[in-house]
Amino acid sequence: MPKVMRQIVLNALSEDIGTGDISSSLLDDVLVTGKIICRQKAVISGIDYAALCFYELDPSIAIQWQVEEGGVSEPGQTLCLLKGRSRAMISAERTALNFLQTLSATATQTRHLSNLIAHTKTKLLDTRKTLPNLRHAQKQAVNSGGGVNHRMGLYDCVMLKENHITAIGSLESAITRALEAFPDKPVIVEIETLGQLDQALAIGGMTRILCDNFDPSVLAEAVRKTNGKYPLEASGNIDESNIQEYAETGVDYISIGSITKHIRAIDLSLQFD
The whole-angstrom separation of Cα 184 and Cα 236 is 28
Q: What is the pLDDT of residues 136-191, one digit of tens each?
A: 999 999 999 999 999 999 999 999 999 999 999 999 999 999 999 999 999 999 99
The reported pLDDT for the residue numbered 261 is 95
Of 94, 135, 177, 185, which one is the catalytic site residue?
A: 94
Q: Would residue 161 show up in a list of annotated catalytic residues for this protein?
A: yes
Q: Would residue 252 show up in a list of annotated catalytic residues for this protein?
A: no
Distances (CA, A) of 70 to 51, 103, 107: 15, 10, 7
The reported pLDDT for the residue numbered 16 is 97
Q: What is the pTM of this model?
A: 0.94
Instruction: Just give the CATH number of 114-261.
Output: 3.20.20.70
The reported pLDDT for the residue numbered 24 is 94
Of 161, 172, 177, 192, which one is the catalytic site residue?
A: 161
Instruction: Just give the CATH number of 3-107+264-272.
Output: 3.90.1170.20
Domain with CATH 3.90.1170.20 in the chain: 3-107+264-272
Domain with CATH 3.20.20.70 in the chain: 114-261
Q: Would residue 129 show up in a list of annotated catalytic residues for this protein?
A: yes
Q: What is the pLDDT of residues 184-233, one digit of tens each?
A: 999 999 999 999 999 999 999 999 999 999 999 999 999 999 999 999 99
The reported pLDDT for the residue numbered 2 is 81
CA proximity to 212, closest of 153, 273, 253: 253
